[in-house]
Chain A
């Protein structure tokens, strides 16, 4: 079973979200990177762009496939992980750490509670992830 840290929240599309003061860090889960296989390309928005909860904010490509990334919460992009441009494989190696993708300044507080808890996400992937 893939690692699902207890202190994070999750989307049904396999992104994680981490509260850091008034900002939220976003990436994809260990389960997601396992399913994707070797990540070879990550396309992310620019700092200052707006992302919307449940909407596409970028793309991650493995050798075999293209997958959309979905924002856990709405807000303005405060930071982007530029290292993924040169070393997309970090997403496989450290999905909850160095493989992070965005830091977002949330525009609404209510959305956080809509996200899955670690336990709910574990149940989702136990059912095959759909």
Chain B
């Protein structure tokens, strides 16, 4: 472990709670408090509190902000209303992925981007350099001054609602509002990475500990539990949400990763559009699919996928899914073999273990749909 690891505003809360701290993307983060499976179940059954302050936030403002974001991201930013959020992708010119992110429209000419912790420096260089020629767009990296707590699970709405100075039930999925939660000024975002209903609460770094304590204190009756990165990973795995560095990176293109729904070539020019149009025209060579082990074994990132002994793909994520009680994974597989029900093998320590492609998400999503 190096001494250069960064700490979130909640570091001391985690240590005091007995969390096991591990290095993650340059940060010292809690991987678990009591146990990954217990924290996973608490999120699905009640409400989990996640410190995701390590994520990065960039802001871009000005008459040229929309054009800069249209150039940078694959989704159609012009479709965003003020108060709305969009999932999107930053691509390289060859269509592979710099990062996945969410884009918030804060006001007419101001936007916020939330990016992965391990990619903050790379993304900052990419977005500022790639938009140098957009004169009327000012960028600001607000990552250091911003804390972020995800509140996820069936009791999230009741818990946040009790602490908020406004009606949070009116905030639709992928919408946000400003307010206070536990008397801390907060951007209340109806988003998450678990497949449960819930919120992501952006707060000033110096107010994040107060917000965390307020949620834990008020949440006792709701079964609120701090949840580490271990369960965050199993929760997102059960939803087949891609994780940068595991399932998507600068060697995978956005279409084969199953992110075609946020790639909008008709909107305007953007970085990677030409390459992705070519991929679309030529057809995908491989697709990201969900697999379930038939033989008893655990698929892990990097294990080869085979069909009758021939290498046909690779596992990108895999573990035990506590809510589905199965060994599940995400894998790239040749397009011809990517249909649900296809029998495959995963090579595990030199042995081929039976698996099959299944429908995803593995566990039914409970997110609040736009109403």
Contacts and interface: CB of A to CB of B under 8 A. Distances in A.
A41 B35 contact: no
Interface stretch (B145-153, B173-181, B254-262, B295-303): B295-303
A63 interface: yes
A85 B230 CA distance: 23
B296 A63 contact: no
Contacts of A41: 296-298, 320, 327
Contact of B37 (A43, A63, A66): A63
Interface string A61-87: 111101000000000000000000100
Nearest to A42: B296
Interface string B6-28: 00000000000000100000000
Given A40-B298, A41-B296, A64 B36 contact: yes
B43 interface: no
B228 to A, nearest CB: 10
Interface in A46-64: 59, 61-64
B320 A40 contact: yes
Contact of A37 (B32, B327, B349): B32
Nearest to B36: A63
Interface residues of A, number: 13
Counting chain A CB atoms within 10 Å of each CB, which of B31, B230, B327 scores highest?
B230
B229 to A, nearest CB: 9
B49 to A, nearest CB: 19
B230 A66 contact: no
A66 B300 contact: yes
A64 B319 contact: yes
Interface residues of B, number: 19
A37 B298 contact: no
A38 interface: yes
Given A37-B35, A38-B36, A41-B298, A63 B230 contact: yes
A66 B298 contact: yes
Residue in A59, A62, A66 whose Cβ sees the most chain B Cβ within 10 Å: A62
Interface string A20-40: 000000000000000001101
A50 to B, nearest CB: 18
B230 A64 contact: yes
Contacts of B20: 37
A40 B300 CA distance: 13
B234 interface: yes
Interface of A: 37-38, 40-41, 43, 59, 61-64, 66, 85, 92
> 4 tightest A-B contacts by CB?
A40-B320, A63-B36, A38-B37, A61-B298
30 contacts: A37-B31, A37-B32, A37-B35, A37-B36, A37-B230, A38-B35, A38-B36, A38-B37, A38-B38, A40-B37, A40-B298, A40-B320, A41-B297, A41-B298, A41-B320, A43-B297, A59-B349, A61-B298, A63-B37, A63-B230, A63-B234, A63-B319, A63-B320, A64-B31, A64-B230, A64-B319, A66-B298, A66-B300, A85-B296, A92-B35
Given A40-B320, A63-B36, A66-B300, 14 more contacts: A37-B20, A37-B36, A38-B35, A38-B37, A38-B38, A40-B319, A41-B320, A41-B327, A43-B297, A62-B36, A63-B319, A64-B31, A64-B230, A64-B319
